[in-house]
Chains A and B, each alone.
Chain A
Amino acid sequence: MDILLLPTLPIITGSIAIILHRKKRLAQVLFFLCCLAVITILLMQLNQEKTFQIGGWGDTGITVGFDALNLPFMLSSIIVAVAVSLSAMTRATYDGFFYGLIMILLGSLNAVYISRDLFNIYVTFELASIVGYILIAYGKKGKQIWAAMKYALLSSVGFSVFLIGAGLAYARTGSFSFLSLNEIGSLAGALIFTGLSVKSGLFFVSMWLPDVYDSTPAEIPLLSGIIIKAEDYLILRFITYDSFQWLAPMYLGVGAISAVIGAVYAFNARKSQRVLAYHTFSQIGFIVTASNIHGAWHAFSHSIFKGLLLLSAGKISERLKTQDLSKWKGKMTVGEYIPLLIGSLAIIGFPLTSGYVTKGGIIDSVPLTGVVMLTIASVATVISFCKFVFIPLSKRKLKLPKLLIMSYVLLSSGILFHGVIKFDYYKLGESLAVIGAGVVLYFLIRKYFRPISTKPEKLDESLVLFVGFIAVVLTMLIL
């Protein structure tokens, strides 16, 4: 029964923090106590597998469970949440309400991870998304509200499609439980997959993402990043059932295309947060291409290194008041550069970082066409992160707040620890070859980088792309 505490504890403490939101200190203390409790409960579940039903209703009732696929996701979301709140404590603009919202987000995401039936997934995931919309619009700037609006419209349409799929599954099997997911039929499978894909962070379907990343302050994209991971978890979970097996080539194709296009958009972009947003498309592509336990661990390492990158790049752009990478020349101090460097090394898969370990695992587990596409995407990733690594530094010293340094240390130690304990030699040559090729290509073609049009990210165009994606999947079903 202790896994039921994982969602309920954060939601209850979060509600208390929201009620007492004028007492900011209390909210922060409650937040850290709650995180400590959740981590303790999570570590007690290590290497266990369990499913059980609440109430005496059998398959019609609520089923919850925990297994090896859950662990990387739950661990990464809590690490990122702690890092976010450490960084948020350095600002005066966030009151107790903010910490309460993070706790509710954490609790509802944990509920998504332990749920084993379709309707619970819908309810808990909508709760997480509503908190996400509020957090995105938290600064009340016009651009942020627009980003939240776009996200909410797109994902509500997606959830309607998902609900139709869930209803079809019920009509076929008489249950919402995952136990009957093998028999729900391919139409319901297609609707469930496409309906949820709008939040997955794949290119073509989640075009709301760059706007969210580039308009919000440094902490918020990390939180929207962990909501994305919840959806990727569902993709990875569903592929193991028969009704979704026919979608496997689709996963491979969409994932690989997203990996390459995202990286191409990224090395052409000029603004730091946009580069990182396009790289989310690319890295989620890696995860979905693999769709196995290696993908799950890549989601873990991606949450952490992308969190470090977003936090450090966001803080630099806030201090310099520009996201334009060409204007960062000679203004960045050493203290700000080190976390950016560690994050960049992890995302390009440099040895001894977590990116090297998990990317190696993914490359080993996908078919040949996937390997080719993902290698191209890796080279493109190296090209675009050369932009961050080869920025001249300033000699000036700047004192960073202690809490911010703690948050950087937490995320970087996660990256390095994961990279060192799982290190092995046999991918070393390959990884260094990819990095070498990327660096050489960067110096050859950097004159030709031009930002690609942002037209597909407009509201109507992104809706059309999403509906087009549903149409393509349904056409595949009929053929």
Chain B
Amino acid sequence: MISQVISYTSFFAVAIGIFGVITSRNLIRKIISLGICETGTTLFFVGVSAATGTFAPVVPATGMAAVAFSDPVPQAVIITGIVINFSILCLLLVFTIMLMNRYHTVDAKTIERILDKEE
């Protein structure tokens, strides 16, 4: 049940993120939307791991209790995904700073117009 709620919320977040990337003209907003979209995918993996239960998959020192552990594998792999997403966002922000220094704007349409005129 909780797994399904998380999964559908994450699809919604991804959809909002993609919508934001397409509709906003400001590059910073585009990057924030991309962040929402990528966080959505992370949340989806949390939902996948919660399908078998919600207890932390840690064996206590007092011995195993028969509770519904969550699946550790999706949690383990998505950490790599978080790091990669973070680094991509950083790289995109660096590109934005470089564009801002050259053209003094973060508006995607304006930058494209300036680049067309440069030719």
Contact = CB atoms under 8 A, between A and B. Distances in A.
Interface string B78-118: 00110011011001100110110011000011011011001
Contact of B37 (A123, A145, A157, A459): A157
Size bracket of the A interface? 35 or more
Interface residues of B, number: 42
Interface stretch (A38-46, A160-168, A231-239): A160-168
Contact of A464 (B22, B30, B98): B22
B44 A146 contact: no
B44 A164 contact: yes
A170 interface: yes
A163 B14 CA distance: 11
A460 to B, nearest CB: 6
A152 interface: yes
Contacts of B11: 164
Nearest to B37: A160
A130 B74 CA distance: 23
A178 interface: no
A336 interface: no
Nearest to A127: B84
B34 A153 contact: yes
A130 B87 contact: yes
A63 B72 CA distance: 19
Contacts of B40: 160
B81 A163 contact: yes
A176 B74 CA distance: 10
Interface in B1-16: 11, 14
B32 interface: no
A135 to B, nearest CB: 12
A66 B37 CA distance: 34
Contacts of A176: 77
A112 to B, nearest CB: 14
Interface in B45-69: 45, 47-48, 51
A123 B108 CA distance: 29
Contacts of B14: 160-161, 164
Contact of A143 (B41, B44, B73, B115): B115
What does DSSP make chain B's interface, helix, strand, loop or mixed? Answer: helix
A167 B41 contact: yes
A161 B17 CA distance: 11
Nearest to A175: B73
B30 A153 contact: yes
Contacts of A95: none
Contact of B80 (A123, A143, A156, A164): A123
B118 A123 contact: no
B21 A157 contact: yes
Contacts of A153: 21, 30, 34, 92
A381 to B, nearest CB: 26
A119 B99 CA distance: 33
A170 B111 contact: no
A357 interface: no
Given A137-B95, A160-B14, A167 B38 contact: no
Given A130-B87, A145-B95, A164-B44, A122 B115 contact: no
A133 B96 CA distance: 13
A152 B91 contact: yes
24 contacts: A119-B77, A122-B84, A140-B98, A142-B114, A143-B115, A145-B102, A146-B111, A152-B88, A152-B92, A153-B30, A153-B34, A156-B38, A161-B14, A163-B44, A164-B41, A164-B44, A167-B45, A170-B48, A170-B73, A459-B108, A460-B22, A460-B108, A467-B18, A467-B22
Given A130-B87, A142-B99, A176-B77, 7 more contacts: A130-B88, A145-B99, A149-B95, A152-B88, A152-B95, A167-B48, A463-B21
